């Protein structure tokens, strides 16, 4: 590997040729803090020669370079130059604007204008809205990268106009304004010169193969690169584009990212997806070791075999990303009515419990269902067992797993992934049920924590889990008609104004009713009148409510414990 390194200024770099952000690179991701720090280091602090680190490139053909390291800084510098150019235009100095613009766009050997920095992932937003000498009226998708570019560009513009005032044409005839304008132009020139004279070490590699290796080495030793960046780099290194104009593999990878972005999911969710996909199919590992495991899996003595493995993994990720989105964002997925009443409800419940250990198992279940290996009945059965376990284990008793539950799920998920046999699938269901039962807390422990659940206007932490419990205790229907739980609210049988908060808020004092009944009929009536109203409305009342002649602390606690017993042994029973 030949490496050539030289000290250069930014203006020398831009004069060398054209720079492309290659397929393995990350999108632009600098946030406000990075942009402000970069701006202050360059513009505010008075450094004569400011060093901004290194830039690593490889030459594809003269005068075109691919960027291995330094694309975030180079992109930000381009945004700064574009903002300065626009400020010159605001002050009607087109010559100075064109002088800056030559570091953004210049004619190639065919005398056709070409942008010096070329980014595929943000095309055409970066080119049309920021780099273009005159803003181009084009429509394009604004994803995370485009939003980051927009925010950074707006911030830089704000910083410039913090230094210089906005141009007001009404002041043009004022002689004092002309003098002030000259001072403003000099300020803009000063910022321009500081940016163009920034110093860096320019490192040039021989070829793209060396670039992939250097990219991985540089970034795994730093803190910026994520597992998804490394995996993308690795896969695209193995899967070279067969057409210069269409990089199919990069399109597939970007499509995976877009699935998460389109559902409004945080970009960090991709890290979790890669991790849970691996756990669901290949083996147990840690997130820190994941990239090493993937690299080991893909690596082979034969380049064809390595390419085939990479291709298969990329297609797996493409398909499973759709399944994963439905798991982490069940409310946005299009379920059919049967799936909505089973799969979606369980997935939403697990999100309510705020647990993630089961995700690899859930992914394996959804994958098996979507690929026709198991029926909806089996899916419903498996998900309900998992929901029951985590309701007791996490939502009520807040147990610590000691790191044993995630590996258990991972092992069973892999077993499910490897079989098509119905007998084996049934054996897997039995094993999952048995293993979860072994880890289940006792009823006594459950009962104590269940009775500690409380909901009042001052204590709302348990509200959602209490509503979930009350819904399950009532069931799906009343008198054969489905219940509209969206419009239901929690009613305190003993009014909040007439008792101790710990008693009034106890789950034994709570029922779920529709908002009209709660607000207009029950109000603050005494217990017997409320029960009579609910009876007339054919509301499904439990025996503790029907048989009670009075409603005090004793009856509330008895009903609470009765609810706990039913919950543990009848409803959420493994």
How far apart CA 398 and CA 221 sit, in angstroms, is 37
Contact 287, 268 (CB under 8 A): no
- Phi/psi for 526 (5° steps) reads -75, 170
pLDDT of amino acid 303 = 81
pLDDT per position as a tens digit, 171-191: 655 666 677 888 899 999 999
The per-residue pLDDT for 128 is: 86
Q: Angle between the 227-238 and 269-281 helix axes, to the nearest 10 degrees?
A: 60
pLDDT digit string (tens) for 231-267? 888 888 888 766 655 678 888 998 998 899 888 887 7
Q: What is the pLDDT of residue 3?
A: 67
Are the C-beta atoms of 361 and 324 separated by less than 8 Å? no
Residues constituting the chain: 574
Residue pLDDT, tens place only, 526-573: 888 899 898 888 888 889 898 898 999 999 999 999 999 999 999 999
- Whether the CB-CB separation of 70 and 53 falls below 8 Å is answered with yes
What pTM did the predictor assign?
0.68
Query: Which among 27, 30, 143 has a CA at the least distance from the CA of 80?
Result: 30
* Domain boundary assignment for the chain: 3-211, 226-329, 334-441, 451-571
Task: Determine how β-strand 199-205 pairs with β-strand 51-61.
Answer: parallel
Please give the structure tokens belonging to residue 476: 């799906």
| Dihedral angle over CA of 428, 430, 436, 440, nearest 10 | 180
Question: What is the tens place of the pLDDT at every residue in 374-428?
Answer: 999 999 999 999 999 999 999 999 988 767 899 999 999 999 999 989 899 999 9
Q: Residue 41: what pLDDT?
A: 84
Given a cut of 50, the residues of the chain with pLDDT beneath it are: 221-223
């Amino acid at each position: 590997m030949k490496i050539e390194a030289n000290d250069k200024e930014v203006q020398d770099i831009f004069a060398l040729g054209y720079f492309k952000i290659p397929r393995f690179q990350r999108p632009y991701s600098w946030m406000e803090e990075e942009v402000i720090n970069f701006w202050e280091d360059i513009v505010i602090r008075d450094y004569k020669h400011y060093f901004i680190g290194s830039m690593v490139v490889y030459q594809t053909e003269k005068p075109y370079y691919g960027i291995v390291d330094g694309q975030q800084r180079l992109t930000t510098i381009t945004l700064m130059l574009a903002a300065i150019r626009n400020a010159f235009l605001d002050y009607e100095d087109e010559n100075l604007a064109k002088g800056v613009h030559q570091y953004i766009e210049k004619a190639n050997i065919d005398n056709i204008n070409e942008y010096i920095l070329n980014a595929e992932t943000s095309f055409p937003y970066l080119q049309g809205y920021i780099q273009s000498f005159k803003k181009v009226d084009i429509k394009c998708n604004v994803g995370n990268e485009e939003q980051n570019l927009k925010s950074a560009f707006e911030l830089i513009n704000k910083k410039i106009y913090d230094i210089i005032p906005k141009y007001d044409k009404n002041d043009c005839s004022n002689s004092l304004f002309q003098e002030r304008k000259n001072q403003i132009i000099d300020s803009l020139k000063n910022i321009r010169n500081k940016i163009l004279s920034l110093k860096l070490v320019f490192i040039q590699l021989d070829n793209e193969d060396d670039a992939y290796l250097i990219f991985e080495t540089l970034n795994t030793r730093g803190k910026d690169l994520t597992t998804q960046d490394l995996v993308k780099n690795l896969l695209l290194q193995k899967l070279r584009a067969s057409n210069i104009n269409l990089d199919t593999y990069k399109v597939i990878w970007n499509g995976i990212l877009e699935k998460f972005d389109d559902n409004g999911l945080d970009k960090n969710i991709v890290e979790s997806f890669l991790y849970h996909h691996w756990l669901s199919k290949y083996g147990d590992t840690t997130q820190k070791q994941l990239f090493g495991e993937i690299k080991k899996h893909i690596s082979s003595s034969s380049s064809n075999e390595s390419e085939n493995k990479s291709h298969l993994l990329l297609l797996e990720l493409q398909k499973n990303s759709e399944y994963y989105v439905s798991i982490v964002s069940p409310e946005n997925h299009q379920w059919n009515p049967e799936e909505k009443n089973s799969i979606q409800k369980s997935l939403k419940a697990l999100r309510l419990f705020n647990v993630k250990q089961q995700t690899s198992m859930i992914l394996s279940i959804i994958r098996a269902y979507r690929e026709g290996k198991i029926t909806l009945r089996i899916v419903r059965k498996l998900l309900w067992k998992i929901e029951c376990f985590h309701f007791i284990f996490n939502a009520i008793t807040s147990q610590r797993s000691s790191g044993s539950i995630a590996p258990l799920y991972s092992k069973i998920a892999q077993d499910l992934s490897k079989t098509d046999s119905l007998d084996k699938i049934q054996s897997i269901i039995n094993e999952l049920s048995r293993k979860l039962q072994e880890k289940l807390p006792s009823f006594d422990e459950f009962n104590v924590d269940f009775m500690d659940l409380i909901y009042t206007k001052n204590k709302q932490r348990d509200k959602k889990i209490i509503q979930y419990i009350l819904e399950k205790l009532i069931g799906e229907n009343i008198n054969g008609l489905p219940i509209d739980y969206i419009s239901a609210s929690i009613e305190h049988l003993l009014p909040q104004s007439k008792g101790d908060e710990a008693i009034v808020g106890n789950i034994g004092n709570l029922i779920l009713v529709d908002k009209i009944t709660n607000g207009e009929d029950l109000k603050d009536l005494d217990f017997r009148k409320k029960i009579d109203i609910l009876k007339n409305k054919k509301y499904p009342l439990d025996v503790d409510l029907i048989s009670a002649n009075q409603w005090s602390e004793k009856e509330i606690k008895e009903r609470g414990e009765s609810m706990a017993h039913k919950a543990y042994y009848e409803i959420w029973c493994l």
